[in-house]
Amino acid sequence: MKHTKQILAALLALVLTFSTLAGCSGKPAKGTSNSKTDTSKQQEASQDTSREITDMAGRNVTVPAKVTSVFSTGPAAAIYLYTLVPDLLLGWNYDLNEIEKSVILEKYHTLPNFGMGDSVNYEAVIAAGPDIAINVGAINDAMISDCDSLSEQLGIPVIAVDGDLEAAADAYRFMGELFDVSDQAEKLAAYAEKTFADIDAMEIPADKKVRLYYGNGEDSLETAPKGSDHAQLIDLVKAENVADLELGDGSRVQISAEQLLAWNPDVIAVVGEPKASLSGHSAADAILNNPNLASLKAVQEGKVYGIPNAPFNWVDRPAGPNRIIGIRWLSGLLYPEYLNFDADDAVKEFFSLFYHVDLTEEQLQQLYNGTIGTK
């Protein structure tokens, strides 16, 4: 009996020893949880599905590791997306017209219209389930506040992108990293940078600078004053904007015909009124045939031009990357003798890179005279 008790005691000691060793090994027993290991696995899973970026407003934002669908908060954002990652574009911000459809690839014609400004259908956006939203505009406190508010409203990250024309190359490179298409983004960024460099290298004598009036609206008597965002392209091409006015609270100002006569510009370039289906070329014809404006130097010399508007206006409306080609076109129009590039070749290259279309010579001329997409 005594011998049996000694054997049992020895076995009990062995069991206790193995239990202690198992506990010291750091391996959880079957059916138990190791909180440290679980947390690490959760962090790894999170890193697989999301990542943190810093947007162009300096905001730290967590976005999906792979973005598959993007809501554009306005037309400028939609154009950036269409030019770089068209298959990620959730929809447009208005119904495309026939002129826009004449250049935009057919597969994107039927994307839904989610609206813009105060008319955005946020319920439809949420139902469509985009991964993120892109907001393009001037980087300031109001922009940051808008992004934060919209993010809370939609329940998705809203990314701020600098809408300044001269920041276009940086914007493309930023979005190239965001969407993992850096190689394609670099091609667009390089084109933008070369455009600015070519224009900057043009040396225009002071006495050769063209005095330009930029007209907007149905009567072409709305203009963008010197220094305003909507007149940025005029300054870039080294023209003298005759509208040296206080901007006030709006983005443009209304003037009178008398004011235009007093300025008497060398050249007039007009955009027309897209909302009234009035093209720039129709607006230019109206000025050329207006007897009240017959004394204008630009009218007498036939230097009143409609700004090309396919698929988007080349100078303004919207103030997006569509303006990059406007720099080439307008500088070629104003200063053909000082150009250090072939304007036609530059337009064709832009359309191939940005709009995914290889223009024929006929289409190029239709773009210039405003007949593409019209019947």
Please tell me the distance from the alpha carbon of residue 96 to that of residue 103, in angstroms, as a whole number.
Answer: 11
> Rounded to the nearest 5°, which phi and psi values hold at 211?
-90, 115
- Across all residues in the chain, what is the average pLDDT? 89
Start-to-end CA distance of the chain, whole Å, equals: 113
Pairing state between β 240-241 and 222-223: unpaired
In the block, tokens 């003798």 appear at: 337
Closest CA to 324 of 139, 227, 193: 193
Please report, for residues 1, 16, 17, 21, 22, the alpha-carbon distance to residue 12 in angstroms, rounded to integers and kept in the order given. 17, 6, 9, 14, 16
Strand-pairing partners, residue 64, are 50
Residue 374's pLDDT is 78
* Alpha-helix runs per DSSP H in the chain: 2-24, 35-49, 75-84, 98-101, 122-128, 141-154, 168-178, 182-201, 232-236, 257-263, 280-288, 297-300, 323-334, 343-354, 361-369
Tens of pLDDT, residue by residue over 304-358, are 999 999 999 999 989 999 999 999 999 999 999 999 999 999 999 999 999 999 9
Residue 263's pLDDT is 98
**Residue 375 pLDDT more than 70?**
no
Please report, for residues 57, 185, 224, 318, 362, the alpha-carbon distance to residue 233 in angstroms, rounded to integers and kept in the order given. 23, 22, 11, 13, 27
Tens of pLDDT, residue by residue over 79-91, are 999 999 999 999 9
Mean pLDDT value of segment 125-151: 97
User: Cα 58 from chain centroid?
Assistant: 17
Residues of the chain above pLDDT 90, percent? 80
Residue 4's pLDDT is 43
Domains and CATH numbers, the chain: 46-198 (3.40.50.1980), 202-369 (3.40.50.1980)
> Rounded to the nearest 5°, which phi and psi values hold at 353?
-75, -45
Strand-pairing partners, residue 72, are 134
Give the pLDDT band (50/70/90) at residue 23: very low
Cβ neighbours of residue 328 under 8 Å, at least 6 residues apart?
Answer: 195, 341, 343, 346, 347, 350
**Residue 3 pLDDT more than 60?**
no
Please tell me the distance from the alpha carbon of residue 53 to that of residue 248, in angstroms, as a whole number.
Answer: 36
**Residue 30 pLDDT more than 80?**
no
Closest CA to 156 of 166, 148, 164: 148
**Residue 77 pLDDT more than 50?**
yes
In the block, tokens 């509208």 appear at: 243
Give the pLDDT band (50/70/90) at residue 250: low
pTM: 0.86
Tens of pLDDT, residue by residue over 210-242, are 999 999 999 999 999 998 888 999 999 999 999
Residue 38's pLDDT is 52
**Residue 46 pLDDT more than 60?**
no
